[in-house]
Amino acid sequence: PGADIGIHRAWAFYGQIPDRRPVTVAMIDTGVDVNHPELTGSIWINEDEIPGDGIDNDDNGYVDDINGWDFYADSGCVFSGDEDEHGTHGAGTIAAAWDGQGTAGIADSRYVKVMVLKVLGTKDGKGVSSAVKRAISYAQDNGAQICNLSMGTTTYDKELEEIIRSSPMLFVVSAGNGDAAGQGYSIDDLPMYPAAYGAENIISVGSMLFDGSMDISSNYGSASVDLVAPGISILSPVPGGYAFMSGTSMAAPMVTGTAALVYSCRTDLDVMGVKQAILNSARPAESMAGRTVTQGVLDAYGAITYGK
């Protein structure tokens, strides 16, 4: 099976469950092309805000925050063009339309919506931790249950760790893509944050190859990386089309999408229950021994049927 995460079986199971609940996933990343045909129906809409009237209708401190906010440029416009490829790609993995065209996201965009919180700008994806903190607070205040953080830094930020730790949201975080030579290393020894924060409400994700083994460039850690998910040559929407992208930034949205799919139909589980379902159902892989907490690979079918 290699990199098969059992998504078709998971979708079949999902299709048989009558009760669904809406889910909001905060994409804290670059911006997202909210007008991409794959994503027009997948984007969170702030129903309490009137578009384009220049007034903060819902009194949340942000004017015209219809689909989220750009904390990089301090604007309600969450798409700036080609520099927003990374976030668009991740959003597509999570919730691209199930319309038989192009690609399909893991979660059902009829129920799962992506809140766009841009914290990274320029073509190099630069950002500051203060923007990430504000984005997390925004996500929480505006009803997101799950946060995708496909980013990392070696700089420890106590305040950021405490904001995450005290949040009711579930955070799915990329483990990072190795050193300058592209060689993955243990983030137990050389921490990459937020993946290495010890908070209970984080799922830290490494990247695996087509054969189910860990990608050489993926960071790992028997204490700090929970599991791996497909992260090589992932096809997803980007501004103006589609692209293949690779890395733990692509693996994390696989887990985020699975978490959203499970949370939307398993109304008996809270977000921490969803985390347990994902980790406890990870498919064991010999090559992960000593490299991840679960020593396993994402299994969407195992997660969605967990405890059933």
pLDDT band, very low/low/confident/very high, at 227 (cuts 50, 70, 90): very high
Residue 212: per-residue pLDDT = 87
- Can 89 be counted among the known catalytic residues? no
DSSP code per residue over 259-302: HHHHHHH-TT--HHHHHHHHHHTPEE-GGGTTTSSSSEE--HHH
Contact indicator for 138, 117 with CB cutoff of 8 Å:
yes
- Dihedral sign (CA 221, 225, 226, 229): negative
- How many angstroms separate the CA atoms of 169 and 283, rounded? 25
DSSP code per residue over 181-233: TS---BTTTS--BTTT---TTEEEEEEE-TTSSBPTTS-B-TTT--EEEE-SS
CA 21 to each of CA 29, 39, 54, 156, 172: distance values in angstroms, whole numbers, following the listed order: 25, 20, 32, 36, 20
- Can 86 be counted among the known catalytic residues? yes
Catalytic residue among 80, 174, 249, 264: 249
Catalytic residue among 29, 65, 215, 226: 29
- The model carries a pTM of 0.98
Token pair for 151: 């980013």
CA angle 235, 240, 244 (to 5 degrees): 20
The pLDDT tens digits for 238-248 are: 999 999 999 99
pLDDT band, very low/low/confident/very high, at 124 (cuts 50, 70, 90): confident
The SS3 of residue 129 is: helix
Catalytic residue among 70, 86, 167, 174: 86
pLDDT band, very low/low/confident/very high, at 35 (cuts 50, 70, 90): very high
Residue 1: per-residue pLDDT = 45
- Can 299 be counted among the known catalytic residues? no
Q: What's the whole-number mean pLDDT along residues 35-58? A: 97
Strand order in the sheet with 283-284: 68-70, 112-118, 23-29, 146-149, 170-174, 202-208, 227-230, 296-297, 283-284
